[in-house]
Amino acid sequence: MSKTHNLGFPRIGADRELKKAMEAFWQGKISQQELEQTGKQLRQRHWQLQADAGIDLIPVGDFSNYDQLLDMSCLLGVVPPRFNWDGEAISLATYFAMARGEQLNDKAVAACEMTKWFDTNYHYLVPEVHSKQTFKLSFNKLFDEIAEAQRAGFNSKAVIIGPLTWLWLAKIKGEDFNKLALLESLTAAYKNILLRLKQQNIEWVQIDEPILVLDLPEQWKKSFTSVYKQLQIADLNILLTTYFGELDDNLQLACQLPVAGLHIDLVRGSSQLEEVIQNLADNKILSLGIIDGRNIWRSDLDNILNTLNKVKDKLAERLWIAPSCSLLHVPVDLAQEHKLDSEIKNWLAFATQKLDELNTLNQAVNHGKENVAQQLELSRKAIQQRQQSTRIHHADVKKRVKAITNNMLARNKPFNERSEIQKQWLKLPAFPTTTIGSFPQTDTIRIARRAFKQGQLDKEEYTRQMKKEIFYVIKEQEKLGLDVLVHGEPERNDMVEYFGELLNGFAFTEKAWVQSYGSRCVKPPIIYGDISRPEAMTVEWSCFAQSCTAKPMKGMLTGPVTILNWSFVRDDQPRAATAMQIALALRDEVHDLEQAGIKIIQIDEAALREGLPLRKKDWQAYLDWTVRAFRLTASVAADETQIHTHMCYSEFNDIIQAIADMDADVITIETSRSDMELLDAFENFDYPNDIGPGVYDIHSPNVPSTQHIVQLMQKAAKRIPVARLWINPDCGLKTRQWPEVKQALACMVDSARQLRKAAG
Ligand code: GLN
Ligand code: ZN
């Protein structure tokens, strides 16, 4: 008999109840007790939902008031000294201070850093450790939730993040040291956690060690064996959980660790099954992650059953089945979507539906297909229908992709010649100034956009209001003295959604929210079919903007890779193929903008870097097709047209060659927080084109002084020839307020003047 279990359930709530409660609590509108009450209700509801779906072992500990890594750090008593923690049980106030920063005695205390959880769009709070770090269990949340679930009668499996993954993701503060030096005391703390769980009569602990799918240094690999030896406790079973990729060179290691069971991701690593079975001792549980926890498509149940049937006799009682990873990364419930086209809706499965699929599979394995014939038939039909749907496949799109030639992937002339041609008409001063695209999204803008969407504002009036905003933004930029202007993007609620809504092949949901970090959720578009562009998407706005000024106006597009990386992508063709379709649609937009007289065009690739695969061996293939997609978009431009690109996360050291291969005339990047250190990549590598290193940290309300900006630029000038430097903020200004933006940009322009003067 096989068993089902789940690795984690989205905690935010089908109606984003947790988000709303968190924000109300921060604003002082509800009490801590009320916030806790909401959490309790959500946990109860989600456990019940999983139990009702027939899940045998219910995850407990996957809930979080902000972030599961932060929960783990608190459980271990790892609070950065700046929060003045008293060493007692960590309060919710300290917890949220770590998450969001706080004012202590009139001084701003910075929040813990946030970064992406592996290759997902979920952000975790980075643990901070120092060389004298100690560990002491200081947060009761996990144990309380276990007790809560047991009281309610759920068959509970405790869920925690493993010691090596936690430590790997931790950041060193203060003097440098080898983090592994902390392992002994960290392991002791984990042992205490396990002992507490045992006291609570827990049988199974799921310990997540997703770093086992990464390239690990030898020392780290070795540490796994010693740590897990020490974590052996009689009658307490550890399920070692890996996901987001295949184990590859860590396969033997993972199979041989002294634990009771191993979970592997068969969606991302389907080829590892046989080898794992061969290497796993025959008293260990093998949990197969067979339902995609990262995407929203229905599973092909027949196909999965084929796989399961091949191994079920051999594994027998040792077979568990589960989603590939925590369902945190998919929306809660498809049943809430009432506007979604019914044909497309039938192809999808969100967290709730995925659990039903899991149950169907388990029934089929244990009691025969005939017992779930109806469910299987429904699923089969949906899969077939999707494969054959005329909504998905468009011959003309496929034909265009096939007809892509190398010629279409390169500009006419090399950069140095283009640059001369562009200089002739642009006549920009040294250190040209520009911004990244968006300006503050005021309430007026949001209200107008919402009213238009809901049909309360007609197109004409909406357009009039947006043009008024654009005009205002342009006049402000002229007053400030910026060199290359933007229209400010008031018509865009989101840089991906805006384009998705205007392209064929995208679907949008009403409530399919996924937690991005803390209380912040995103609603990624769904790319279900071949992509094409029915009509121009930005030309009218850009042309209007250009008509308001004699200065050059920069057209603004979101690049193909960013649109792809921030959507749920179809799984019936390679991501690269979808990227090329998007690129063709955007290429037409570049062409139309150019024809309409927009001669500077920025193609944002904010998310190109973050989509880098987890394993180094996969990087080149990714970079090849992403650079190709970008070049296909941009290369339609004539040489006199200046193509800009922008990237947010700018750790470029490893991929600088690919950045250069994109061959954008100008790249603007986020660098101010790193004090220009990120530019080291450009120093050691002779990056050929123009660069605008960000000098204004737009994630902070702080206004940089002119002097500060001059200093940053001087640092930049040590690494990059002055003739190729631009001055601009780190990123778009849409989340900022007007007063601070005006001040900061005035300083930016001022610093440019000073630098020009100094350079003579
Ligand atoms: N052009 C976009 C903006 O300014 C870029 C945003 C981003 O890089 N995330 O808002
Ligand atoms: Zn950015």
Which is nearest to 545 in space by CA: 529, 534, 556? 556
Listed by start position, the domains of the chain span: 3-329+340-388, 414-421+430-670
Q: Residue 708: in which H helix or E strand, if any?
A: helix 706-719
What's the confidence (pLDDT) of residue 671?
A: 87
What is the residue-wise DSSP string for 407-443? GGGS-SS-HHHHHHHHHHHH-PPSS-B---SB----H
Reported as a single tens digit per residue, the pLDDT across 285-296 is: 999 999 999 999
Q: Is 745 helix (H, G, I), strand (E, B) or coil?
A: helix
CB atoms within 10 A of CB 237: 16
Query: Span 188-194, mean pLDDT?
Result: 98
User: Average per-residue pLDDT in the chain?
Assistant: 96
Q: Is the pLDDT of residue 650 over 80?
A: no
Reported as a single tens digit per residue, the pLDDT across 388-410 is: 999 999 999 999 999 999 999 99
Q: Is the pLDDT of residue 44 over 90?
A: yes
Residue nearest ligand 1's atom 4 by CA: 732
What's the confidence (pLDDT) of residue 699?
A: 82
Query: Span 266-286, mean pLDDT?
Result: 97
Q: Residue 569: what residue type?
A: V
Distance, in Å, from the CA atom of 570 to the CA atom of 736, rounded to the nearest integer, reads 34
Buried b (16+ CB within 10 A) or exposed e, 649-668: bbebeebbebbbebbbbbbb
Which is nearest to 662 in space by CA: 588, 609, 701, 729? 609
Helix boundaries (H) for 720-759 = 738-759
Among 604, 644, 672, 696, which residue has the most ligand 1 atoms within 8 Å of its CB, making it the best to mutate?
604
Cα–ligand 2 centroid distance for 652 (angstroms) = 14
Q: Residue 716: in which H helix or E strand, if any?
A: helix 706-719
Among the residue ranges 544-553, 587-596, 682-691, the one predicted with the least confidence is 682-691
Query: Span 557-573, mean pLDDT?
Result: 97
What's the confidence (pLDDT) of residue 601?
A: 98
Reported as a single tens digit per residue, the pLDDT across 356-400 is: 999 999 999 999 999 999 999 999 999 999 999 999 999 999 999
Query: Span 274-298, mean pLDDT?
Result: 98
Q: Annotated catalytic, 699?
A: yes
The band of 564, judged by pLDDT with boundaries at 50, 70 and 90, is: very high
pTM: 0.95
Cα–ligand 1 centroid distance for 687 (angstroms) = 23
Cα–ligand 2 centroid distance for 730 (angstroms) = 6
Reported as a single tens digit per residue, the pLDDT across 434-474 is: 999 999 999 999 999 999 999 999 999 999 999 999 999 99
Terminal-to-terminal C-alpha distance of the chain: 81
State the Rg of the chain over Cα. Answer: 27
Cα–ligand 1 centroid distance for 645 (angstroms) = 10
Long-range contacts of 221-225 (CB under 8 A, 24+ apart): 221/250, 221/253, 223/164, 223/180, 223/183, 224/164, 224/253, 224/254, 224/257, 225/253, 225/256, 225/257
Considering only residues 95 and 648, tell me which one the structure prediction assigns the higher pLDDT. Answer: 95
Task: Give CATH for domain 3-329+340-388.
Answer: 3.20.20.210
Q: Is the pLDDT of residue 104 over 90?
A: no
Fold adopted by 414-421+430-670: TIM Barrel (3.20.20)
Fold identical between 3-329+340-388 and 414-421+430-670?
yes
Give the Cα-Cα-Cα angle 608, 70, 198 (nearest 5 degrees): 125
Q: Which ligand is nearest to the CA of 488?
A: 1
458: left (phi over 0), alpha (psi -120 to 50) or beta: beta
What is the number of the ligand 1 atom nearest to the C-alpha of 646? 8
Q: Is the pLDDT of residue 649 over 80?
A: no
Q: Is the pLDDT of residue 700 over 90?
A: no
Among 492, 494, 495, which residue has the most ligand 1 atoms within 8 Å of its CB, making it the best to mutate?
495
What's the confidence (pLDDT) of residue 108?
A: 82
Among 116, 435, 436, which residue has the most ligand 1 atoms within 8 Å of its CB, making it the best to mutate?
436
Q: Is the pLDDT of residue 727 over 80?
A: yes
Q: Is the pLDDT of residue 654 over 90?
A: no
Query: Span 553-559, mean pLDDT?
Result: 98
Residue nearest ligand 1's atom 8 by CA: 606
Query: Span 263-276, mean pLDDT?
Result: 97
What's the confidence (pLDDT) of residue 682?
A: 83
Distance, in Å, from the CA atom of 597 to the CA atom of 94, rounded to the nearest integer, reads 55
